[in-house]
Amino acid sequence: MTELTRKQFDLLEVLASSNEPQTQRGLEKATGYSLGTINRVMKELSELQFASDGSITNAGIAALEPYRAKRAIFIAAGFGSRLVPITFNTPKPLVRVHGMRIIDTLIDACLKAGINEIYIVRGYLAEQFDQLLYKYPMIRFLENPVYNEANNISSSMVARYMLSNAYVFEADLFVSNPSIIRKYHYTSDFLAIRKQRTDDWCFRVKDGIIQQQMVGGEGDDIWQMVGISYWNDADGHKLSQDIASVYASPGGKERYWEQVPLNYCKDHYAVEVRACLEEDIVEIDTFRELKAIDKTYDV
C-alpha cells in the first residue's frame, strides 16, 4: 500500500468525487492550495499512476481505499428526557420532523456516501427501531441492556469492536446537508462549528487538532461540538481498548464515550476538527426546539 501525503489525499478526494476531469484552477478552488502546489502534487500523482488528465485512475481509487469510511455506528439507546412528552412513546431518533424521522436524515447521508454497513445501538423502546428495516434492510441492531443505568459510554462498549474506519453518530441529529458525511477521511476527526463563545459542549483546538473537550468556552480557538465523528483504522482499534478501560474505572459508567479519546486517553490520539456550518445540521434537544422547527407539534 502506498501511503498518501495529505496533499495527495486531498487532491485525489476531489478527483474521486468529480464526474468530469478537473482543471488545476478547479482544484485550487476546491482545496485552497496554490497553483504551484497543485501542479507539483498532480505531477506526483501522475507518476504514481493515480491520476491522469485531471481524473482519478483505478489505481488512484485503490490508493484511497484504506481511507474509506466502511461503517456507521448510531448511538440511539437513550431516553431523550428533554424531549418529553414526545419521547414517552417514541425513541428520540424516530421522532418525525416535517414528516421525516430524525435518524433517516443520517442514514440517507451514509448511504449516499457509500456506507452500507450500519449498526444502531438501541435500548429504550428498542423494538420500535424494527420499523427502520422496511426502508433500510441492511441495518443491524446492537442491544444495550444497561442504557438506563449508565451513560452513553455503555453504548460504545457494545460497539467497541466496530469502530475502525467508522463514523459514530449521535442518532438525534437532523441533517439538512448530507454532503457533510464524506466517503474518505485522511485521519480521525470530529465535526464542529467555529464559535467565539458557546455554553454548549465544545473543543479547544490548536493547529486543527482537538486539545480539550469541555462545556462552554470562548476565544478564537473554540469550536462547538457536533455529535458526528470518524475514527480511522488505528484509532478504532485503540478505542476498543481505551473505552473498556475507562468503563471499568471508578465512575467509568457515568462518562460520555467521546471523553475517552478527547479527555481521559487523549495522549493516544490526535483528532482533527472538521468544520461544518450551523445550517448543515440541527440538534433538537428540547420539545420547545422541536415545536419551533415543526409547527405541527405546536398545538
All three cell numbers of 246, joined, read: 475507562
pLDDT at 1: 58
Bond from prior residue into 137 cis (ω within 30 degrees of 0):
no
Which distant-in-sequence residues (6+ apart) come within 8 Å of 193 by Cβ? 223, 224, 226, 275, 276, 277, 278
pLDDT at 291: 85
CA-based torsion, 220, 225, 226, 231: positive or negative? positive
Where are the extended beta strands (E) located within 165-233? 166-170, 173-175, 189-194, 197-206, 209-218, 222-231
Residues 81 and 85: their CA atoms lie apart, in Å, by 8
Angle at 20 between CA 15 and CA 25, to 5 degrees: 65
pLDDT at 84: 74
Task: Decide: helix, strand or coil at residue 169.
Answer: strand
The helix, strand and coil proportions of the chain, stated in percent and rounded to the nearest 5, come to: 40, 25, 35
All three cell numbers of 108, joined, read: 440517507
b/e map 152-161, b = 16+ CB within 10 Å: bbbbbbbbbe
Low-confidence residues in the chain, pLDDT < 70: 1-2, 299
- pLDDT tens digits, 132-170: 999 999 999 999 999 888 899 999 999 999 999 999 999
Task: Decide: helix, strand or coil at residue 299.
Answer: coil
Question: CA torsion angle for 126, 130, 136, 139 (degrees, to 10)?
Answer: 50
Cβ atoms 78, 32 nearer than 8 A: no
Amino acid identity, position 85: P
Q: Which of 199, 181, 212, 213 is nearest to 285 (CA)?
A: 199
pLDDT at 295: 85
Place of cell 434492510: 137
Burial class of 220 by CB neighbour count within 10 A (0 to 12, 13 to 18, 19+): exposed
Global pTM?
A: 0.93
Stated as kind and residue range, the H or E segment containing 288 is helix 287-293
Cβ atoms 74, 169 nearer than 8 A: yes
Percent of the chain's residues with pLDDT above 90 = 81
pLDDT at 82: 72
How many angstroms from the chain centroid is the CA of residue 15? 22
Could you give the residue ranges of the DSSP H alpha helices within 32-123? Answer: 35-47, 58-64, 102-112
Residues 229 and 196: their CA atoms lie apart, in Å, by 22
Q: Which of 139, 167, 142 is nearest to 154 (CA)?
A: 142
Cβ atoms 174, 142 nearer than 8 A: no
